[in-house]
Amino acid sequence: MKGSIIVLLCFIAGWITGSLTGVIDGFHSLSIWLLYFLMFQVGLGIGSNPDLGRMLRSLRMTDVILPVATMCGTLIFTAVGSFFISRWNMAECLAVNSACGYYSLSSILVSQLKEPSLGVAIATQLGTVALLANIFRELTTLVG
């Protein structure tokens, strides 16, 4: 309980600081490099596992079918669903929905990659949709 309150207070303090000052502009590039560093550390952690080779050799085709089918189904249904959304095109819908759970990284990357072509406001909206889509996917998975 105490940890949750501390996290909430830190979030509120950051929100107020970002709203009142222009400090956030300098932290934007820092945050993306921090995410890259964290992904690098995940890669190091996976790559340094001495049993990784054995685990990869022991994979059967049936172990790979479910994740591949999930990704393919997600992208196919996103492409079909994009025809019913007039605000964004298929490429933007696929970018939003292809993160597969990396909500902290996907929202930033979608916003940064779409900003030159869509503008800051629309790219931010698309990044927010990416964040929410991944959070709702995680929540649905946990509840299900």
In this prediction, residues 62-75 reach a mean pLDDT of 87
Residue 90 makes CB contacts below 8 A (sequence gap 6+) with 79, 82, 83
Instruction: Supply the pLDDT for residue 60.
Output: 86
Tell me the pLDDT of the chain averaged across its residues: 81
In this prediction, residues 22-42 reach a mean pLDDT of 74
pLDDT digits (tens, 9 = 90+) for 72-131: 988 899 899 889 988 888 888 888 887 766 666 777 778 877 777 778 888 888 888 888
Instruction: Supply the pLDDT for residue 76.
Output: 92
Q: Report the distance separating Cα 59 and Cα 52, nearest Å.
A: 11
Give CA 74 to chain center in angstroms. Answer: 15
Q: What residue segments make up the domains of the chain, in order of their start? A: 1-55, 59-144
| pLDDT score of 143 more than 80 | yes
Give the confidence band of 28 by pLDDT, cuts at 50, 70, 90.
Answer: low
In this prediction, residues 35-45 reach a mean pLDDT of 85
pTM above 0.75, yes or no: no
